[in-house]
Amino acid sequence: MEKQLIHKVCKLYYIDNLTQRTIGDRLGISRMKVSRLLYEARREGLVEIKLNFGSTEHAEIEGEIERRFAIRDCKVVPAYENTEQMLREMAVALADILDRFLADTTIVGVSWGTTLEGMAKHLKLKKKYDVKIIPIVGAVGLEGSGSYTNYVTRSFAEKIGGINYTINVPAVVNSKEEKAVMENVSSTQQIIDLAKRASLLLVGMSDATIASSLGKTGNFRQEEIDYLQDLGVIGNVNLVFINADGEHVDNRVEERIVRILTPEKMKKVKVRIGIAFGESKIGVITSALQGKWINVLVTDEETAKQVLRKEMAHEKGSADWN
């Protein structure tokens, strides 16, 4: 992974003409480390007048997604038919990102879902960190299942280190009055206060269908899914419903959702890592990137290619309209 990091630093410095400080901020490393990596590249003969790296297809895809969506980082792994193998590869990519961005005292916000559960199961970091890991959505999913909010949060804490916090209220309640009560529970308020200081988020994404992980929670009726789709909703990021342009769509369904982070506060968190793959996720990944809900992406090769195709088609459509 160190060689990949040197490759990325050299590209940003020699080709994209970014300063060492800007590169450090973007990649979550110090300016001194950027300088050291540039020195190592020169010493090893990797850099002369041009980058001496053999360009790989994944590096090109990663760079193109970073450029088009102006995000901090993108990690693309090979597409495997075996989902478990893909999750292992994505966990390696996520570990590289976390080892760069994490530090002791970091507050990490974690969403829910089967992909995140798979990441936690296979995650191996270089060291343990003294961090606080909090849920950024109420309890959602089936209790006892791998996708359940508190299970996912606890699983990441076991691999990353530090302590994790348990959410004691459901993510989706019956009314906005019940939501107000749940958000004012003292233990929920403690997590909400911690979330205000979070500097890194791990979020899953889901399309807006009854067959999706969102629909399978049992918290949303078919008529509510139909209502969201009629409003133009194509998916959600941490239960924030967005349209094809990545815009947050106001809707009455969210009156029942217990928020740890409001949509506005989510966007202000420094590092927002989106983790998703598969044909059903292409639309919501593209929209989440367009809307700046995430600024780091971990996905597989085939999904990444489809996201790029979708974005290029969107750009062409906008140009034709203008």
pTM above 0.75, yes or no: yes
pLDDT digit string, tens, across residues 217-241: 777 889 999 999 999 999 999 999 9
pLDDT, one tens digit per residue, over 255-294 is 999 999 999 999 999 999 999 999 999 999 999 999 999 9
The beta strands (E) that lie in 155-199 are given as: 163-164
Q: Which helix (H) or strand (E) holds 107?
A: strand 107-110
Q: Average pLDDT, stretch 19-39?
A: 92
pLDDT at 166: 93
Q: Which CATH architecture has domain 57-321?
A: 3-Layer(aba) Sandwich (3.40)
Is the sign of the CA dihedral 184, 185, 189, 195 positive or negative? negative
CA-to-CA distance for 318 and 322, rounded, in angstroms?
Answer: 6
The DSSP-derived string for 16-34 is: S---HHHHHHHHTS-HHHH
Q: How far apart are CA 208 and CA 214, in angstroms?
A: 7
Helix or strand holding residue 108 (H, E):
strand 107-110
Residue 135's nearest CA partner among 167, 160, 161, 157 is 167
Strand duo 200-203 + 107-110: pairing: parallel
Give the pLDDT confidence score for residue 143 in this predicted structure. 54
Strand order, beta sheet including 271-275: 73-77, 296-300, 271-275, 200-203, 107-110, 132-135, 163-164
Our separate counts of H helices and E strands in the chain read 14, 10
CB 251 within 8 A of CB 233: yes
Share of the chain above pLDDT 70, in %: 93
Domains 1-54 and 57-321 share a fold: no
Do the Cβ atoms of 131 and 162 come closer than 8 Å?
yes
Q: Is 133 helix (H, G, I), strand (E, B) or coil?
A: strand
Note the pLDDT of residue 57: 59
Token digits of residue 261? 């982070």
Tell which wins on pLDDT, 58 or 321. Answer: 58
Q: What is the pLDDT, as a whole number, of residue 55?
A: 46
Cβ atoms < 10 Å from Cβ of 143 = 11
Question: What does CATH list as the number for 1-54?
Answer: 1.10.10.10
Cβ contacts of 70 within 8 Å, gap of 6 or more: none
Q: Residues 17-37: what's their mean pLDDT?
A: 92
pLDDT tens, residue by residue, 189-205:
999 999 999 999 999 89
Question: What is the C-alpha to C-alpha distance for residues 72 and 70, in angstroms, rounded to an integer?
Answer: 7
Per domain, the residue ranges of the chain are 1-54, 57-321
Residue 122 has pLDDT above 80, yes or no: yes
Question: Closest Cα to residue 258, out of 165, 184, 162?
Answer: 184
Residue 322: which pLDDT band, with cuts at 50, 70 and 90? very low
Interval 293-313: pLDDT, tens: 999 999 999 999 999 999 988
Q: What is the percentage of the chain residues whose pLDDT exceeds 90?
A: 72
